Amino acid sequence: MTSPERHPDATGADAPASGERSGRTPSGPPPAAVPSDLLRPRARSEQVVRLVLFVCALVSIVTTVGIVVVLVRESAGFFAEVSLAEFFGDSQWTPLFDQKHFGIWPLLAGTLLTTLIAVLVALPFGLLAAIYLAEFAPERLRRVLKPALEVLAGIPTVVYGYFALTYVTPALQLVVPGLAGFNALGPGIVMGIMILPIIASLSEDAIYAVPASLREASYALGAGRLRTVFRVVVPSAFSGIGASVILGVSRAIGETMIVAIAAGQQPRLTFDPRVPIETMTAYIVQISLGDTPTGTVEYRTIFAVGLCLFLMTLVLNIAAYRLRKRMLKGGLT
């Protein structure tokens, strides 16, 4: 008598395997073992490095807070004796004279005048240099020219100041009638040369980061290279270019030695670049020489001026940060 044959079940599956009969369920590949390096406690060297980085960050924050506290405290003492109406309503700045005036506008006008001249010099040359480096220069030449351009940022500003006084101003006097020995034009031009690497380098990074697909799309529509650069690439990098210009303006507003050496120390409410002027930073240098008694209202003027200067640069830096952040997120305009 023959034994009955075993047939698969209705689904076509055969009898359960030996592993299933023993009660074990099939499973996928075993989970990967956690590397032992991740389970070990962090090395002491890593903890030390982390602590050092934290201390460095904390020092920068504490320094900034300390600067703000000193400026606000000393400025409060100044404004306790000089009203805001006089500070912003008077058109003369003569705190060291017998007839004292505390109008900030002459210093503000001198600062804005030299900054405007610097931007008018640095913006076109810096932007054109950035376009050439990013779009037209061969890669080997780009690697040489960009560091050479950034060397200008490492020259001491006192050298720039004497260069403006002894070379630029005499040369300008040959072509600009009525130009005084101390003026705003020469220092402004030299300040433009000083901030040119900032605008050129940051603008070049922004232009270089524009996706190649935008260029290719422009070429596919029949646009030439120049039209693509100025109608597509540069507008796409506007946020980065704007941030570079704002940072350059902040650098020019805070410049001290060039204007202290070559612009003169005559605060006047004028926008004539041929005459001597005084900027906010140059006035701070003048008072800080040690001839003004500490604690007097004349001495506290440097903190009031410094607070105004701090607020100006803070607003510009915040604007530059927002533009830079917008560029990193991919904003095109």
Q: What is the mean pLDDT of residues 189-196?
A: 93
Q: What is the mean pLDDT of residues 285-314?
A: 87
- Least confident range of 32-46, 139-153, 317-331: 32-46
pLDDT at residue number 19: 46
pLDDT at residue number 122: 93
Amino acid identity of 242?
G
Q: What is the mean pLDDT of residues 211-238?
A: 88
With 70 as the cut, is the pLDDT of residue 298 above it? yes
pLDDT at residue number 35: 55
pLDDT at residue number 169: 93
Q: What is the pLDDT of residues 120-131, one digit of tens each?
A: 999 999 999 999
pLDDT at residue number 16: 47
- Least confident range of 22-36, 91-105, 163-177, 233-247: 22-36
Helix-helix angle 105-131:185-208, to 10 degrees: 40
pLDDT at residue number 127: 93
Domain boundaries, the chain: 46-80, 85-328
Q: What is the pLDDT of residues 147-176, one digit of tens each?
A: 888 888 888 999 999 999 999 999 999 999
**Is the CB of residue 182 less than 8 Å from the CB of residue 263?**
yes
Specify whether domain 85-328 bears CATH 3.40.50.300: no
| pTM summary value | 0.79
Tell me the pLDDT of the chain averaged across its residues: 83
With 70 as the cut, is the pLDDT of residue 40 above it? no
pLDDT at residue number 258: 93
pLDDT at residue number 96: 84
Residue with tokens 């003569």: 94
Q: What is the mean pLDDT of residues 188-209?
A: 91
Q: What is the pLDDT of residues 16-35, one digit of tens each?
A: 444 444 445 555 556 655 55
3-state SS of the chain?
Answer: CCCCCCCCCCCCCCCCCHHHHCCCCCCCCCCCCCCHHHHCCCCHHHHHHHHHHHHHHHHHHHHHHHHHHHHHHHHHHHHCCCCHHHHHHCCCECCCCCCCCECCHHHHHHHHHHHHHHHHHHHHHHHHHHHHHHHHCCHHHHHHHHHHHHHHHHCCHHHHHHHHHHHHHHHHHCCCCCCCCCCCHHHHHHHHHHHHHHHHHHHHHHHHCCCHHHHHHHHHCCCCHHHHHHHHHHHHCHHHHHHHHHHHHHHHHCCCHHHHHHCCCCCCCCCCCCCCCCCHHHHHHHHCCCCCCCCCHHHHHHHHHHHHHHHHHHHHHHHHHHHHHHHHCCCCC
pLDDT at residue number 117: 95
**Is the CB of residue 195 less than 8 Å from the CB of residue 118?**
yes
